[in-house]
């Protein structure tokens, strides 16, 4: 087995393993995979003959993600909407507090 990638989180390593597994590439995760504390690097290993296709697949995914629509960012609530929501929550909390006195 040879190291394909080193990532910061177990979640990211599992995403890579799932992506490669969908293409029939078997992976081995080493490092802080199932530790008590989710800290530390996780290494993704593949067999030596699967290394070139795995690298190509991850590179293709990275390139495709660079061309994703910026519209996904617009789906997040605008700061003004967040402030309106926050003010509404504070007003409701104040009314409920005033009624309980």
φ and ψ of 29, to 5 deg? -100, 130
pTM for this model (two decimals)? 0.63
Residues 6+ positions from 58 with CB-CB distance below 8 Å: 4, 5, 16, 19, 20
pLDDT for 98: 87
Cα 39 to the chain's mean position, in Å? Answer: 15
Rounded to an integer, the average pLDDT of 21-47 is 88
Condensed to tens digits (0 to 9), the pLDDT of residues 37-68 reads 767 899 999 999 999 999 999 998 888 887 77
CA dihedral 4, 25, 19, 36 (to 10 degrees): -60
Domain of 76, in residue numbers:
2-100
pLDDT-based confidence at residue 20 (cuts at 50, 70, 90): very high
Task: Give the number of domains in the chain.
Answer: 1
């Amino acid at each position: 087995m040879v190291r394909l990638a080193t990532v910061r989180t177990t979640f990211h390593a599992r995403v890579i393993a799932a992506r490669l597994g969908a293409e029939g590439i078997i992976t081995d995760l080493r490092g802080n995979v199932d530790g008590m504390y989710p800290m530390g690097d996780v290494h993704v290993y593949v067999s030596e003959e699967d290394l070139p296709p795995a690298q190509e697949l991850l590179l293709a995914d990275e390139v495709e993600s660079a061309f994703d629509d910026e519209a996904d960012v617009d789906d997040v609530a605008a700061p003004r909407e967040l402030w309106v929501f926050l003010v509404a929550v504070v007003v409701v909390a104040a009314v409920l507090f005033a009624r309980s006195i």
